[in-house]
């Protein structure tokens, strides 16, 4: 199980990385390598040139203008532990903690997960739920792409082959913000068979004034559940009683149409994440525990 | 094309020429004779190849040696000797945390890395931290006991 | 010393990365092998073009079976000593037809594994696809495509057995049921895959083969046969092994291939199985379907048990293949129960899937599942407690040996008291109370039981046509008083360096740290049987005990002659350095070679038509309590306890480790693991991300309680390694069935994975409530 041969270049400047990427049709970025290298070992990916971006100054976490801006090289372990991320983007911290195992999280990067676009991955779904923005850099300049438009299909995005994800941007969690990521996987650490992320914001009176939600594992891309939850009456609700949980679950389940098992899981997980999100928004503890369903 | 890589292996400066496709796992094993890192799957799914890079546990089968320029790599051979075991190794021995030993060096390194971050981890946290390292022999009880003993925890019977 | 929790002698080296596994043996000029393996389930090969592969820099040789034939390779074959087995011999590589995805066709030898894989990539193989045969029942249907048309069927072997009056007994029984129990296909998955490395020394004509192999001496025999060498010209060394679990008991094509390629190329060569090969093209285990018909009376006594066993062999191009385990299955269907009338039919069927072979438990998890499910169903049907039904059916406490159907000599201790101890230690009654209370609270808790009576230390004669029931040991006290022990068994992690040292130290009156145990090298001893079948404590332990006893007796004689109370060192020096003053008739030196057999098996039918394949039996009783989440199908083990009787316990720490590890494998098999194929024979689990063995999070603790009923073999030992892996599937299936019974779910297979349980629950009309789930 050895990769096919390839050439390698380590970029220390963004421009060099972009030039290298453009130099070869079969060039690929390597960031954490936690998705790409297994595929190469299985010879399912055979890039001719690997452009190593790990030395670019993109391991950054910044808060400005009520936005959290995260560099693409922020590793999962940092998302999980960094105090700023835990406070300002608790959903990302919770999602990151659900990824694989410590050694995977020590290497895997936010940008890599987003660019890889595995439909079962947590971070893409979390970004969609947060209505985040993907920052892409090409030789033509920077593009800001809404996460809701970024993912096109199984392992495919709107990114051009010679473009680089340089970061993502999500709104800073408000005061009465509640986030939850619930998933079901055969074993803890496995890619989820289904997962649901929910973020809500309550006003001072405890009424839900903003929400986002997305599912992973269900379609060929993260599935945006914003509309489903809105239509189900979550927006404007001040409580999630049993009947709201049930009707929301039922509506969300339909997004997994045709797959009985995923329908069941999405329904359950939506209810659970919604319930958690409300509890956390009320309790002022926006952060999740990262524990699977 | 081969690349020259300068890095540190178990505290000593090293310089090698490597093809891009050579993984750190292959390089520590074949060039440095550090065969305590094991190839259990070579696709990132078993953890048997775990080494520490700049102090953090990583899968050496998912890292190319050419990516290690300037890094410091530690393998199990840097921790304890048969005559003078590292406390983690001692705990593994005391709690019968190994049978065939194939998963063991990686398990020890993962446990060392975890306790460095959470010295008082609970049994649940310990199990979660070790979950990326498969062991087919022991059923994990001894491993969990060993790590718990160093975290100052009594393992709870289920 | 015997009975002490002696820490392991092997640990310091393994803990510090100084273990020495197969792939840790680089030598100058070492070449590596990669194989072109069939991408389809069934095909006729039209042509193989090796030119591009051979032209790659670094490629040493590209060979097909024709090349191996030209170099004098001989075919491999079964040695099944059973009439009616279909004729089958196979080349080390496939030739005209490939019959499973992964079957090897072309071998590449190159300077590195990476280059060898590059060469495999550019091989051009042209083939015509043939229809796949994946489902074992479809394979038996009239008109099914045939793997081996010359057989006229896909049935490789069919056997029937019945006691006189079985049909009558079933007809007369007050209650009769027929149920299906299926054991699904899994992989043993030792963490270190298979592998072999060989080099040929033309100067001495010796072929040295390193192999990750449980039976190095027998691999020597097979390699000598395949390579047309004498056994004296072949040395097999099994270095440290990263697990074996019965998988590495088989003598594989690849091991023989490595030996041949070392001879043909003159280079040292290695093949290290990669994980993809390990999951798809190595050895799978367990797939059997049982249709059990059982008759019982109003008291829950099972009067008759008749089982039709259909066993999927995959493509049976593997020494004793799935037939070996299947024969054990049918021999063990009554387990620890006295069932008067019994019968079975066994149909071993070839399919175009990966060969099926041995895995720890070797056919017994399947039979045990059936036996224990029968007890549970009888209990449920009659409304009698399942523990009570078991008690009523257990083998009577006397006589011993109990002679089972077919003649097996079962020598376990009294089972009634052991069951009492289980129920007591597990607090069975309290668990039943708790179960009721939790059920009232809408939680689905179930309790499962297993009362396992397990043959250990078997002869291989029944399945391999050669395989005496013995083990060889050489025990020597060296001139300085230190002790060496050499054995023909081979540890794959079972702590032999420690437990055999404990035995030798005890016999010789020295300490464990002065004993060095060596195994896994045909140069150490003339022959040996290796480690499998829970045999090493009994057979190698027995051999070490007898040999050490002989040395001790000699030391006693020398010491008496020396006078006073000489130390062991003094006696050793006397024996080796002062031979001239030894007592008359005593040879110099302190060393004994023993080929020990308990002699308690009956490998070929005696006058009564009896056979008995096991030297001694263990008895192990297990109880588990589980909770099933009706929404997600997740099974959590709330408690698990095993009362172990493996005779004299050499080292309780090691025994507990064997049980805990076996339990983890048994639990993994039913809750997390399954090897799946698509309808066209494509394996669906090709990586460790698809074949999911349990991690530290999933495996619960197993509590172990010891009892010791001495066996009649040397030292009083009984085997232990395969107990918990056999008990776990049956106990867990019983527990899950018990938990879900109120929801109308019935369990008929070992597929207790959460997604299967969800499907069963849906089929039973159970609709989980998201609100309840959210709040829980
Ligand atoms: C055992 C195991 C378990 C795992 N479990 C999970 C899990 O449960 N959930 C989960 O989400 N993931 C899981 N992963 C994958 C892990 O999260 C990866 O880290 C992540 O998917 C990819 O990030 P990376 O930095 O490693 O990317 P790489 O592997 O380096 O790259 C992945 C892809 O993205 C491209 N790419 C990387 N960075 C950029 C960039 N900045 N711009 C453009 N393209 C880029 C690469 O060219 C490549 O195609 C698991 C991995 C393993 C080995
Ligand atoms: S060998 Fe690296 S994770 Fe398995
Ligand atoms: S001790 Fe064998 S795999 Fe862990």
| DSSP for B63-128, written as a single string | SBGGGGTT-EEE-GGGS-BTTB--HHHHHHHHTT--SS-SSHHHHHHHHHHHHHH-TT--HHHHHH
Q: Is B2 on the interface with C (CB under 8 A)?
A: no
Q: Is A25 on the interface with C (CB under 8 A)?
A: no
- pLDDT surpasses 80 at C620: yes
Q: Ligand 2: which atom is nearest the Cα of residue B60? A: 2
How far is C622 from chain B, CA to nearest CA, in Å?
16
Which ligand has the minimum distance to the alpha carbon of residue A166?
Answer: 1
Q: At what angle do helices C754-763 and A260-283 cross, to 10 degrees?
A: 110
Domain that holds residue B11: 3-77
- How many domains does chain B fold into? 2
Q: Residue C81: its pLDDT value, please?
A: 80
- pLDDT surpasses 90 at B21: yes
Q: Which CATH class is domain C11-130+194-272?
A: alpha beta
B103 and B66 belong to one structural domain = no
The answer to whether the CB of B95 is under 6 A from ligand 2 is no
Q: What percent of chain C is predicted at pLDDT more than 90?
A: 97
The answer to whether the CB of B45 is under 6 A from ligand 2 is yes
C401 preceded by a cis bond (ω within 30 of 0): yes
Q: Residue B43: its pLDDT value, please?
A: 98
* Interchain proximity C12–B93, CB inside 8 Å: yes
Phi-psi region of A234 (alpha: psi -120 to 50; beta: other; left: phi over 0): alpha
Q: How far apart are CA C776 and CA C774, in angstroms?
A: 6
Q: What is the mean pLDDT of residues C343-360?
A: 98
Model pLDDT for residues C485-510, shown as the tens digit of each residue: 999 999 999 999 999 999 999 999 99
B68 and B8 belong to one structural domain = yes
Q: What is the sign of the dihedral through the CA atoms of C561, C562, C565 and C567?
A: negative
Q: Residue C633: its pLDDT value, please?
A: 98
Model pLDDT for residues C48-92, shown as the tens digit of each residue: 999 999 999 999 999 999 999 999 999 999 888 888 899 999 999
pLDDT band at B158 (very low <50, low <70, confident <90, very high): very low
* Interchain proximity A102–B47, CB inside 8 Å: no
* Interchain proximity A102–B59, CB inside 8 Å: no
- Ligand 3 contacts (CB < 6 A) are B 98-104, 135-138; C 191, 243, 493
- pLDDT surpasses 80 at C690: yes
Mutate to test the interface with B, among C15, C117, C187, C654 (most CBs of B within 10 A): C15
How far is A3 from chain B, CA to nearest CA, in Å?
6
* Interchain proximity B45–A38, CB inside 8 Å: yes
Query: Which pair of tokens denotes residue A137?
Result: 């850099």
pLDDT band at A285 (very low <50, low <70, confident <90, very high): low
* Sequence ranges of chain C with CATH classification 3.30.365.10: 284-460+606-770, 470-596
- pLDDT surpasses 80 at A144: yes
Name the neighbours of B, counting chains with at least 3 Cβ pairs within 8 A: A, C
- pLDDT surpasses 90 at C460: no
Q: What is the mean pLDDT of residues B129-145?
A: 98
- What dotted CATH number matches A61-171? 3.30.465.10
Q: Is A3 on the interface with B (CB under 8 A)?
A: yes
Q: Is A44 on the interface with C (CB under 8 A)?
A: no
Q: Residue A284: its pLDDT value, please?
A: 61
How far is A98 from chain C, CA to nearest CA, in Å?
14
* Interchain proximity B101–C242, CB inside 8 Å: yes
- Determine, yes or no, domain membership for B129: yes
Q: Ligand 1: which atom is nearest the Cα of residue A36? A: 29
Q: Is B7 on the interface with C (CB under 8 A)?
A: no
- pLDDT surpasses 70 at A207: yes
pLDDT band at C461 (very low <50, low <70, confident <90, very high): confident
* Sequence ranges of chain A with CATH classification 3.30.465.10: 61-171
Strand order in the sheet with C471-477: C515-518, C483-487, C471-477, C591-596
Q: How far apart are CA C536 and CA C410, in angstroms?
A: 19
B98 and B62 belong to one structural domain = no
CATH number (domain holding residue B16): 3.10.20.30
Q: Which residue of B has its CA nearest to C699?
A: B139
Q: Which residue of C has its CA nearest to A274?
A: C774
- Determine, yes or no, domain membership for B41: yes
Mutate to test the interface with B, among A102, A116, A191 (most CBs of B within 10 A): A102
Of A42, A243, A293, the CB nearest to C632: A293
- Determine, yes or no, domain membership for B158: no
* Interchain proximity C241–B132, CB inside 8 Å: no
Name the neighbours of A, counting chains with at least 3 Cβ pairs within 8 A: B, C
Which ligand has the minimum distance to the alpha carbon of residue B47?
Answer: 2
- What dotted CATH number matches C470-596? 3.30.365.10
- Cβ C538 vs Cβ C224: under 8 Å: no
B7 and B49 belong to one structural domain = yes
- Determine, yes or no, domain membership for B155: no
Q: Residue C226: its pLDDT value, please?
A: 95
Distance A112 CA to ligand 1 centre (A): 5
**If we measure between CA atoms, which residue out of C734, C576, C712 comes closest to residue C648?**
C712
* Sequence ranges of chain C with CATH classification 3.90.1170.50: 11-130+194-272
B97 and B126 belong to one structural domain = yes
- Cβ C29 vs Cβ C278: under 8 Å: no
Of C15, C697, C703, the CB nearest to B104: C15
* Interchain proximity B94–C654, CB inside 8 Å: no
To the question of domain A177-281 being in CATH 1.10.8.60, the answer is no
Give the mean pLDDT of chain C.
97
B7 and B73 belong to one structural domain = yes
- ipTM field: 0.98
Domain end among B56, B77, B98: B77
Q: Residue A252: its pLDDT value, please?
A: 97
* Interchain proximity C696–B81, CB inside 8 Å: no
B71 and B97 belong to one structural domain = no
Quote the DSSP letter at residue C752. -
The answer to whether the CB of A191 is under 6 A from ligand 1 is yes
- Determine, yes or no, domain membership for B21: yes
How far is B97 from chain C, CA to nearest CA, in Å?
9
Q: At what angle do helices A260-283 and A242-253 cross, to 10 degrees?
A: 140
- How many beta-carbon pairs under 8 angstroms link A with C? 84
* Interchain proximity B39–C654, CB inside 8 Å: no
Query: What stretches of C441-535 show up as alpha helix (H) in DSSP?
Result: 461-464, 496-508
- What dotted CATH number matches A7-52? 3.30.43.10
- Determine, yes or no, domain membership for B82: no
Contacts A104 to B, Cβ<8 Å: 44, 59, 132
Model pLDDT for residues A174-198, shown as the tens digit of each residue: 999 999 999 999 998 899 999 999 9
Q: Residue B156: its pLDDT value, please?
A: 63
Query: Which pair of tokens denotes residue A229?
Result: 């939850």
Name the neighbours of C, counting chains with at least 3 Cβ pairs within 8 A: A, B
The answer to whether the CB of B125 is under 6 A from ligand 2 is no
Task: Give contacts of C 383-422 with B, CB under 8 A.
Answer: none
Q: Which residue of B has its CA nearest to A107?
A: B58
pLDDT band at A290 (very low <50, low <70, confident <90, very high): very low
Q: What is the mean pLDDT of residues C576-596?
A: 96
Model pLDDT for residues C231-273, shown as the tens digit of each residue: 999 999 999 999 999 999 999 999 999 999 999 999 999 999 9
Give the mean pLDDT of chain A.
95
Q: How far apart are CA A290 and CA A293, in angstroms?
A: 9
* Interchain proximity C15–B43, CB inside 8 Å: no
Task: Give contacts of A 273-292 with B, CB under 8 A.
Answer: none
Distance A78 CA to ligand 2 centre (A): 23
- pLDDT surpasses 80 at A69: yes
Distance A104 CA to ligand 1 centre (A): 9
Q: Residue B157: its pLDDT value, please?
A: 46
* Sequence ranges of chain A with CATH classification 3.30.390.50: 177-281
B73 and B95 belong to one structural domain = no
Report the nearest-CA residue for atom 3 of ligand 3: B135
Q: What are phi and psi of C570, to 5 degrees?
A: -65, -40
B48 and B95 belong to one structural domain = no
How far is B99 from chain A, CA to nearest CA, in Å?
23
* Interchain proximity A249–C770, CB inside 8 Å: yes
Task: Give contacts of C 308-337 with A, CB under 8 A.
Answer: none
Q: How far apart are CA B89 and CA B82, in angstroms?
A: 10
* Interchain proximity A245–C632, CB inside 8 Å: no
Q: What are phi and psi of C341, to 5 degrees?
A: -115, 135
Q: How far apart are CA C120 and CA A222, in angstroms?
A: 37
Name the one residue in this structure whose structure tokens are 């927006």.
A235
To the question of domain C284-460+606-770 being in CATH 3.30.365.10, the answer is yes
Q: Residue A293: its pLDDT value, please?
A: 33
- Determine, yes or no, domain membership for B157: no
């Amino acid at each position: 199980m050895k990769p096919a041969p390839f050439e390698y270049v380590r970029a220390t400047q963004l421009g060099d990385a972009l030039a290298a990427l453009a130099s070869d049709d079969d060039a690929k970025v390597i960031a954490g390598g936690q998705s790409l290298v297994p595929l190469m070992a299985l010879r399912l990916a055979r890039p001719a040139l690997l452009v190593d971006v790990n030395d670019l100054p993109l391991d950054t976490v910044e808060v400005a203008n009520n936005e959290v801006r995260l560099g693409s090289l922020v590793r999962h372990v940092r998302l999980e532990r960094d105090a700023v991320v835990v406070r300002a983007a608790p959903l990302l911290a919770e999602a990151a903690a659900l990824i694989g195992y410590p050694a995977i999280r020590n290497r895997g990067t936010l940008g890599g997960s987003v660019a890889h676009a595995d439909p079962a991955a947590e971070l893409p779904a979390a970004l969609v739920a947060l209505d985040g923005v993907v920052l892409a850099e090409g030789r033509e300049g920077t593009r800001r792409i809404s996460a809701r438009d970024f993912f096109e299909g199984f392992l495919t995005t709107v990114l051009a082959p010679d473009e680089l994800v340089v970061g993502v941007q999500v709104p800073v969690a408000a005061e009465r913000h509640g986030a939850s990521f619930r998933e079901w996987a055969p074993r803890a650490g496995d890619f989820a068979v289904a997962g649901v992320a929910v973020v809500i914001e309550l006003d001072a009176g405890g009424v839900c004034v903003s929400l986002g939600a997305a599912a992973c594992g269900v379609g060929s891309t993260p599935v945006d559940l914003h509309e489903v939850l809105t239509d189900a009456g979550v927006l404007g609700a001040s409580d999630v009683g049993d009947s709201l949980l049930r009707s929301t679950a039922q509506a969300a389940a339909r997004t997994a149409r045709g797959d009985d098992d995923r329908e069941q899981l999405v329904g359950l997980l939506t209810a659970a994440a919604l319930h958690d999100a409300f509890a956390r928004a009320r309790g002022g503890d926006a952060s999740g525990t990262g524990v699977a369903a | 094309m081969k690349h020259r890589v300068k890095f540190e292996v178990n505290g000593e400066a090293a310089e090698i020429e490597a093809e891009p496709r050579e993984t750190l796992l292959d390089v520590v094993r074949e060039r440095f004779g550090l065969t305590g890192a094991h190839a259990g799957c070579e696709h990132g799914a078993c953890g048997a190849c775990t080494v520490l890079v700049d102090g953090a546990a990583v899968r050496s089968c998912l890292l190319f040696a050419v990516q290690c320029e300037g890094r410091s790599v530690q393998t199990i051979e840097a921790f304890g000797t048969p005559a003078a075991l590292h406390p983690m190794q001692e705990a593994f021995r005391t709690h019968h945390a190994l049978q065939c030993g194939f998963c063991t060096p990686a398990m020890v390194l993962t446990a060392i890395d975890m306790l460095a971050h959470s010295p008082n981890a609970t049994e649940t946290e310990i199990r979660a931290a070790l979950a990326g390292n498969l062991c087919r022999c022991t059923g994990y009880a001894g491993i969990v006991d060993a790590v718990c003993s160093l975290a100052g925890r009594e393992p709870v019977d289920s | 010393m015997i009975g002490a929790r002696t820490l392991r002698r092997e640990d310091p080296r393994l803990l510090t990365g100084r273990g020495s596994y197969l792939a840790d043996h680089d030598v100058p000029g070492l070449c590596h092998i990669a194989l072109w393996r069939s991408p389809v389930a069934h095909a006729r090969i039209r042509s193989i073009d090796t030119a591009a592969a051979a032209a790659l820099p670094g490629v040493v040789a590209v060979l097909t079976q024709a090349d191996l034939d030209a170099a004098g390779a001989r075919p491999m074959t079964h040695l099944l000593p059973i009439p009616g087995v279909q004729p089958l011999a196979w080349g080390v590589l496939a030739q005209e037809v490939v019959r499973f995805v992964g079957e090897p066709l072309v071998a590449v030898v190159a300077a590195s594994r990476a280059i060898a894989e590059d060469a495999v990539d550019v091989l051009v193989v042209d083939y015509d696809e043939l229809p796949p045969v994946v489902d074992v029942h479809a394979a038996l249907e009239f008109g099914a495509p045939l793997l081996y048309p010359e057989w006229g069927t896909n049935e490789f072997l069919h056997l029937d057995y019945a006691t006189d009056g079985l049909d009558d007994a079933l007809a007369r029984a007050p209650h009769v049921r027929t149920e299906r129990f299926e054991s699904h296909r899994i992989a043993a998955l030792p963490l270190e895959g298979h592998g072999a490395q060989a080099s040929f020394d033309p100067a001495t004509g010796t072929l040295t083969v390193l192999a990750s192999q449980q039976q190095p001496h027998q691999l020597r025999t097979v390699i000598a046969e395949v390579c047309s060498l004498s056994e004296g010209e072949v040395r097999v060394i099994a270095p440290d092994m990263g697990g074996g679990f019965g998988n590495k008991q088989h003598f594989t094509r690849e091991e023989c291939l490595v030996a041949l390629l070392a001879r043909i190329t003159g280079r040292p060569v290695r093949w290290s199985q990669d994980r993809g090969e390990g999951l798809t093209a190595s050895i799978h285990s367990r797939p059997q379907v049982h249709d059990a018909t059982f008759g019982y009376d109003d008291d829950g006594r099972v009067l008759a048990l008749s089982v039709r066993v259909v066993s999927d062999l995959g493509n049976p191009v593997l020494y004793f293949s799935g037939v070996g385990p299947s024969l054990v299955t049918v021999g063990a269907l009554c387990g620890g129960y006295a069932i008067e009338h019994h019968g079975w039919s066994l149909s071993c069927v070839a399919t175009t899937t990966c060969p099926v072979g041995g895995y720890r438990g070797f056919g017994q998890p399947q039979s045990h599942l059936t036996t224990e499910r029968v007890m549970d169903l009888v209990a449920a049907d009659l409304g009698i407690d399942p523990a009570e039904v078991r008690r009523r059916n257990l083998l009577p406490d006397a006589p011993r040996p109990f002679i089972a159907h077919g003649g097996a000599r079962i020598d376990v201790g009294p089972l009634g008291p052991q069951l009492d101890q289980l129920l007591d230690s597990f607090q069975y009654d309290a668990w039943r109370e708790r179960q009721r209370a939790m059920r009232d609270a809408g939680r689905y808790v179930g309790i499962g039981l297993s009362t396992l009576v397990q043959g250990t230390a078997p002869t291989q004669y029944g399945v391999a046509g050669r395989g005496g029931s013995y083990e060889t040991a050489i025990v020597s006290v060296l001139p300085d008083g230190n002790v060496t022990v050499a054995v023909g068994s081979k540890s794959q992690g079972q702590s032999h360096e420690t437990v055999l040292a404990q035995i030798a130290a005890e016999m010789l009156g020295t300490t464990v740290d002065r004993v060095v145990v060596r195994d896994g090298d045909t140069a150490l001893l003339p022959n040996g049987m290796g480690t499998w079948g829970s045999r090493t404590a009994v057979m190698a332990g027995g051999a070490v005990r007898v040999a050490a006893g002989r040395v001790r007796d000699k030391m006693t004689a020398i010491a008496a002659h020396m006078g006073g109370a000489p130390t062991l060192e003094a006696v050793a020096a006397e024996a080796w350095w002062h031979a001239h003053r030894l007592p008359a008739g005593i040879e110099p030196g302190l060393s004994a070679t023993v080929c020990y057999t308990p002699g308690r098996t009956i490998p070929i039918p005696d006058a009564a038509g009896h056979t008995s394949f096991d030297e001694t039996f263990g008895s192990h009783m297990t109880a588990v309590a589980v909770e099933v989440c009706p929404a997600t199908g997740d099974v959590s083990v709330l408690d698990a306890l095993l009362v172990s009787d493996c005779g004299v316990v050499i080292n309780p720490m090691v025994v507990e480790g064997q049980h805990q590890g076996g339990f983890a494998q048994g639990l993994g098999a039913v809750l997390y693991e399954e090897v799946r194929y698509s309808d066209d024979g494509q394996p669906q689990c090709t990586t460790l991300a698809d074949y999911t063995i349990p991690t530290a999070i999933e495996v619960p603790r197993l509590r172990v309680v010891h009892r010791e009923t001495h066996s009649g073999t040397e030292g009083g030992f009984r085997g232990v390694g395969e107990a918990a892996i056999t008990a776990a599937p049956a106990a867990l299936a019983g527990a899950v069935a018990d938990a879900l019974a109120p929801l109308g779910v019935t369990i008929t297979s070992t597929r207790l994975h959460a997604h299967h349980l969800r499907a069963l629950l849906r089929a039973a009309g159970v609709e989980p409530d998201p609100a309840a789930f959210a709040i829980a």
